[in-house]
Amino acid sequence: MPKMPVLVVDDDAEIRSLLREVLELEGFVVLEAATAQDTMALLEREKPCLVTLDIRMGDDNGFQIARDIRAVSNVPIIIVTGQGDVIDRVVGLEIGADDYIPKPFHVRELVARVRSVLRRYESAGVQGADPVLTEKQTPDRKTRCLRFDGMSADLDQMQLRDRDGADCGLTSGDFRLLTVFLERPMHALSRDQLMDLTGGTLWSPLDRTIDNQVARLRKKIERDPANPQLIKTIRSIGYKFTAQVETLSDPS
């Protein structure tokens, strides 16, 4: 079985060397990038199965690199950084990162997080496919598609089309949250359940990650985000998806 490539993005050579040593011992092939330009070049050429990304990159901005990656790829992203602020964590997750590990970190925890994220993508049917998105990408089999309130969600391609048929441009995090709702319509889901079902970290009463993700998703799917009708807030519990969901044989 071929080894899975992981792209380590960090301007600190010592950190890159440490991650290379740890991940190679776990059987991964490690690619290294110290700049935004190198990151995008390796992403296109090598098609890694996962990216670890530092936020503070000297002249480059890690958040912008994450946005650039998400614009062209569904590859899992784990932010590994010395910035432990909650706002940085929320911003990272909102722009499409799949997990967040502050420095200093224990190497066993990092490996566990890497494998956990890869398992989530594999269970969602994403792993094993070309992670780089192209306009000409077409499935060679029937895909699972759900329709609600005039919108259609292709679960295999992780794509949501609006009421006019245009791509909504959801991040992988947005789409995982939407999928949880679509697969459990009319069910009240707690924030803890939503965090667990989307593969996030443990939730606490002061953690606004799920609320921020719901607010962002509402902007993409609600006819009037200021008066949401599809994702209802259930006081003291969490949220409920209230639209009727229809299963289609294909996304057309």
136 within domain boundaries: no
Residue 56 pairs with which residues in a beta bridge? 61
Number of domains in the chain: 2
- For residue 81, pLDDT over 50 is answered with yes
Rounded Cα distance between 45 and 66, Å, is 17
The model's pLDDT over 122-131, given as tens digits with 9 standing for 90+, comes to 755 544 334 4
Q: Are residues 114 and 150 in the same domain?
A: no
**Angle, helices 209-221/172-182, rounded to nearest 10 degrees:** 80
User: What pLDDT score does 79 carry?
Assistant: 87
Q: Are residues 166 and 84 in the same domain?
A: no
Domain that residue 24 falls in:
5-123
The residue ranking higher by pLDDT, 131 or 68, is 68
- H or E element that contains 238: strand 238-241
Rounded Cα distance between 252 and 249, Å, is 9
Q: Are residues 35 and 111 in the same domain?
A: yes
Cβ of 95: how many Cβ atoms within 10 Å? 19
Last residue of a domain, one of 92, 123, 154: 123
User: What pLDDT score does 2 carry?
Assistant: 67
What is 11-70 written as a DSSP string?
A: S-HHHHHHHHHHHHHTT-EEEEESSHHHHHHHHHHH--SEEEE-SEETTEEHHHHHHHHH
CA 56 to chain centre: 20
Average pLDDT, the chain: 81
215 within domain boundaries: yes
139 within domain boundaries: no
Which CATH number characterizes residue 206's domain?
Answer: 1.10.10.10
Closest-CA residue to 169 (of 159, 155, 178, 157)? 159
User: Residue 101 carries which side chain, given as an amino acid letter?
Assistant: I
User: What pLDDT score does 73 carry?
Assistant: 85
135 within domain boundaries: no
Q: Are residues 112 and 157 in the same domain?
A: no
Last residue of a domain, one of 123, 155, 187: 123
82 within domain boundaries: yes
88 within domain boundaries: yes
Q: Are residues 185 and 231 in the same domain?
A: yes
Closest-CA residue to 19 (of 129, 116, 122, 101)? 101
User: What pLDDT score does 134 carry?
Assistant: 40
Q: Are residues 89 and 159 in the same domain?
A: no
Which CATH number characterizes residue 92's domain?
Answer: 3.40.50.2300
pTM: 0.56
